[in-house]
Structure 1
């Protein structure tokens, strides 16, 4: 192998050195599939990999051997960031390890490959929310993750009747994610919404109506097996939080819970960092 091959970040090395796939490698490959994609920093957080250079070397090997694929996001300043996807050699491993049908793996990967670069900044933030909860659940204290679904898994199209016109309208329901967790023996279900402050109040209120309509449709209980859900909104700062909270209060004082990125830390995510429309103070995600 020559130096130019080793340094080409865009292409796999033609004849990579042999590697022995370690248990942690298999876990990384599986997590990349479960999340859809991950940045190197996010992989380091999930697996407590403190040494960046060693992480880069291992990820490069997994890329060269086809277990991972990668894509570089354009950057205005500095170096472009690599995000890692499941590679062609990783599909069989994932199918065997977690029992997913190969056709389902192919469907998900095709959807991700077609995703435009401009959406990945938002999607990476959704990953950060998920990682914060995963890290919190590593020290459970009566907590246990039941499942986490990506936006692709949550996507749902259905028809409903417009109350004013009486006409049937088609609705697309696509949250940023969904997860369920047990606290002792009680099961909670939560949708996730990541707000980057790029959405005006009118568009956000459309999302509020989307969730309220979904709650009234009965589809949630049919698909997820629970009667009630929460919508966890993570936003930029307190000012934005208060603005969104006031927007929601025009429609409901239920289901929506708000916090900021500053508060979204592994040791705090289930604690009293959440605000609710129409209510003063803060709340924990352990409350019924």
Structure 2
């Protein structure tokens, strides 16, 4: 059964606002920057024109809880508005103890910066999962992905030990429902707009492989730690999905080369062989959905598969 996004997102509810306005605030707080069209898909997909949605955004803006800025790379006509919570709006959401606190709060300067396009591309990825979950009868709500979740990796116990953080662009959770069976999926999502250097991609892939096997040094309850750090956060190690977000504006050959580069990078680190990892394009994710053969595995057989990232005959655990 599909989750009603208003019920799923309805957490912080300042008095005097409509149900929709109350539901918009936590999503804007969590995802930082969202366009009007993205909010339309997430919260009012049942209407052709988001008139009421725009009215509620206007009321939130009048109340000083949200603000908006024009999109840097707008299409024809007036630039689309991108919405974010103000400091007052963030405080209103954070005052609800059921809402996870976010240390980072977007400023008007950051909303207008070059980070804008990448932030919107990450939201586009989450919106695609929500949209297809609704169509397929699965479950994924507007709050089921969280941007930039830090995962600590520390070498050694001394004060001088090297400490690093693996930080996916988003951690996304999705419930696949088929024949009465529910399968909880989680993903580390990396969005590449074609601007990431090859060396940086290599470092990211190596960090995921390293984190999968990372066991914190030290003791728990008097015993040496033998448990991987990720097990405290996830029932199984999340799949890694790399999304090429600007593929609609480049040739198929460029996309193919990017995929081949990613596979070559994964092959340089033996630890990557145990990652359930794949690469797709945002365009295909949006058009065909996550359970079409849209993803190329980064290791092993390059035959296209779905986001279970298991080739035909392989495990879909």
TM-score of the two chains, using structure 1 as the length reference: 0.75
1:197 pairs, out of 194, 197, 212, with 194
Which has more helix, going by share of residues? 1
Matched, 1:61 2:50: no
Matched residue SS, 1:264 = helix
Cα distance in structure 2, aligned partners of 1:156 and 1:114 = 27
Q: Which structure's relative contact order is higher, taking Cα pairs within 8 Å and 6+ residues apart?
A: 2
Cα distance in structure 2, aligned partners of 1:202 and 1:213 = 16
Matched residue SS, 1:21 = coil
Q: Note the aligned Cα RMSD (angstroms).
A: 3.1
Give the drift of 1:193: 0.5
Cα distance in structure 2, aligned partners of 1:54 and 1:187 = 34
Give the drift of 1:279: 0.9
Write out aligned runs for 1:167-182 (5 A).
168-182=161-175
Alignment match, 1:211: 208
Cα 1:71/1:157, change in 2 over 3 Å: farther
TM-score of the two chains, using structure 2 as the length reference: 0.69
Matched residue SS, 2:144 = strand
Cα distance in structure 2, aligned partners of 1:148 and 1:140 = 17
CA displacement, residues 104-162 of structure 1 (integer Å, 9 cap, x when unaligned): 36x443x5567471212111100000000011112344x3348734234x12343225x
Alignment match, 2:267: 249
Write out aligned runs for 1:57-136 (5 A).
57-74=55-72, 81-87=80-86, 90-91=89-90, 94=93, 99-100=98-99, 104=101, 107-109=103-105, 115=110, 117-136=113-132
Cα distance in structure 1, aligned partners of 2:25 and 2:97 = 11
Cα 1:207/1:97, change in 2 over 3 Å: same
Cα distance in structure 1, aligned partners of 2:61 and 2:170 = 27
Matched residue SS, 1:99 = coil
Cα distance in structure 2, aligned partners of 1:201 and 1:69 = 36
Matched, 1:45 2:41: yes
Cα distance in structure 2, aligned partners of 1:280 and 1:139 = 28
CA displacement, residues 66-121 of structure 1 (integer Å, 9 cap, x when unaligned): 232223454599755532112456457645778227xx36x443x55674712121
Alignment match, 2:303: 281
Give the drift of 1:30: 2.9
Moved more, 55-64 or 169-178: 55-64
Cα distance in structure 2, aligned partners of 1:262 and 1:159 = 37
1:28 pairs, out of 24, 28, 31, with 24
Structure 2 segments unaligned to the other structure (5+ residues): 1-15, 215-227, 248-254, 309-315
Give the drift of 1:40: 1.4
Question: Contact (CA 8 Å) 2:20, 2:56: kept in 1 or not?
Answer: no
Structure 1 segments unaligned to the other structure (5+ residues): 1-19, 162-166
Alignment match, 1:260: 281
Give the drift of 1:249: 2.7
Give the drift of 1:229: 1.9
Question: Contact (CA 8 Å) 2:187, 2:239: kept in 1 or not?
Answer: yes
How many residues align structurally?
257
Question: Contact (CA 8 Å) 2:35, 2:81: kept in 1 or not?
Answer: yes
Question: Contact (CA 8 Å) 1:245, 1:258: kept in 2 or not?
Answer: no
Matched residue SS, 2:213 = helix
Cα 1:159/1:247, change in 2 over 3 Å: same
Question: Contact (CA 8 Å) 1:36, 1:112: kept in 2 or not?
Answer: no
CA displacement, residues 45-66 of structure 1 (integer Å, 9 cap, x when unaligned): 2222532666544422321122
